[in-house]
Amino acid sequence: MVDDPNHPRPFLIARGGPFYDLQLKAKLIRGKGLNPAVRALVFVSLAWGVPLILSVVAGTALGPLAARPFLLDPGAWARFFLAIGLLVLAETQIEEHLRESVRQLFDGRLLTPKSLGLAKAAVARALRRRNSTPAELICLLLALLASGVLLMNDQNGTSSSWATTINDASTSLSPAAWWSIIVSNTLFWFLVGRALWRHIIWSLLLRDLSRLETRLVASHPDGHGGLGFIGKYPNAYVLFTVAVSGVISAAVTHQVLHGTFTVSALSTIMGLWLALIFAYFGIPLICFMRLLSDLKKSSLLAAATRGTEYQRQAERKTLGRNVIADEGNVTEDEIPDPAKFYEAAKKLSPMLVTRATLVPVSAAALLPFAAAGFTQLPVKELIPVLKHLLLF
């Protein structure tokens, strides 16, 4: 394939790195696609299916709700079934959206000719970060650390019957618990850490691209100088948001089921979580705010200056002279009316994240919490809270 000097390599954020190569060798990924359904099934089977089988053998898969058997443990469902499955499925959606965003930046002729090479280098730099072995090793080490902390906590006592084996007067961790800590929990945190690292890569790429010379125009119909498509990227993270929100809401679910949570406490947690989600997706776009603010300021000033000349020209044609600072008989070309351009420039928004973009992500973030609340808390009290948070 001939390297196009005006286009970078496809920005495939979900590929590259040791973990991707391992999946290739295991033939979990074949061809050009990511094979998300098969991979999700394999990882969920390892993380959730194996502890289920071990719990069935031990007789702790079902039982009273208060004992938290495996199949009634919201934490196990959230981390090992829902989150791991959705994190794998989300990779394809995220990759396709980010790839199209980068492609549109080049195909939309938004970069000056001298910036094309720099932009291509920025994409190549991002792909090298994606392929980093040390980065994924750090993700693995942090995942092992999280599992180590969980192991110490569980050895001090766990409220889940499936995670405990009773021997005479003593208790110890069950085989299902050991597998969940060593394999399932480590896999979950590794996938989360890897996803976070790749979001940082995307953020750094946006920062590098925002520093280049562009061909933006304040009157662009998207209301963002031509960069409106970049602000839509959070919509690609709906599955990712549901996955992470589900894990957090699982802890809330346990408290709700035991009647220790009120609507006000739940609404506070949902509000704080929503603010964190907004920051997570909004911070990478801050680098474009100054660029678009400067564009708006300069465009309004240029349009206002041109408007003065247009109106003075019209005044001379109408009155035969300028009422103030008459310039006499001036021969000049016809000046177009800049009024429409001025009005369009006034509407330019430096904020690339809009309400329309945030509503799907907000709904994804709040859905698991709402599901937890509806199990025990009054529906009439929860619905106004959800409306308030979604309409912000």
Structure tokens at 311: 């109106």
Task: Give the three-state DSSP class for 344.
Answer: helix
- 268 half-sphere exposure, CB direction, 13 A CA radius: 5
**pLDDT for the residue numbered 2:** 41
Which residues are within 8 A (CB) of 294 and not within 5 positions of it... i.e. 6 or more apart?
A: none
Contact call for residues 133 and 168 (beta carbons, < 8 A): no
pLDDT tens digits, one per residue of 30-44? 878 899 999 999 999
CA 246 – CA 74 distance, rounded (Å): 9
* DSSP E strand boundaries for the chain: 164-167, 170-173
Q: What is the pTM of this model?
A: 0.88
Structure tokens at 267: 């609404």
Contact call for residues 84 and 191 (beta carbons, < 8 A): yes
Q: Which residues of the chain have pLDDT under 50?
A: 1-2
Which residues are within 8 A (CB) of 10 and not within 5 positions of it... i.e. 6 or more apart?
A: 99, 103
Q: What torsion do the CA atoms of 49, 197, 226, 242 make, to the nearest 10 degrees?
A: 30
**pLDDT for the residue numbered 5:** 60
Structure tokens at 226: 């031509």
Element (H, E) at 247: helix 238-257
Query: Which is it for the CA torsion 234, 238, 244, 249, positive or negative?
Result: positive
**pLDDT for the residue numbered 378:** 59
Total length of the chain = 392
Q: What torsion do the CA atoms of 275, 281, 284, 286 make, to the nearest 10 degrees?
A: -50
Residue spans per domain, the chain: 1-215, 219-392
Cα-flanking dihedrals φ and ψ of residue 172, to 5°? -145, 170
**pLDDT for the residue numbered 168:** 57
pLDDT tens digits, one per residue of 50-103? 999 999 998 888 887 777 788 988 888 999 999 999 999 999 999 999 999 999
Q: Exposed/middle/buried for 381, CB within 10 Å: 0-12, 13-18, 19+? A: middle
Structure tokens at 111: 């970069």
DSSP string, 288-303: HHHHHHHHHHHHHHHH
CA 234 – CA 363 distance, rounded (Å): 12
**pLDDT for the residue numbered 327:** 78
Task: Give the three-state DSSP class for 214.
Answer: strand
pLDDT tens digits, one per residue of 136-177? 999 999 999 999 988 887 665 556 778 777 665 667 788 999
**pLDDT for the residue numbered 296:** 96
In terms of Cα–Cα distance, which of 118, 97, 110, 136 is closest to 12? 97
CA 335 – CA 382 distance, rounded (Å): 59
**pLDDT for the residue numbered 382:** 58
Which residues are within 8 A (CB) of 102 and not within 5 positions of it... i.e. 6 or more apart?
A: 8, 11, 123, 205
Please give the DSSP secondary-structure letter assigned to residue 160: -
Contact call for residues 195 and 92 (beta carbons, < 8 A): no
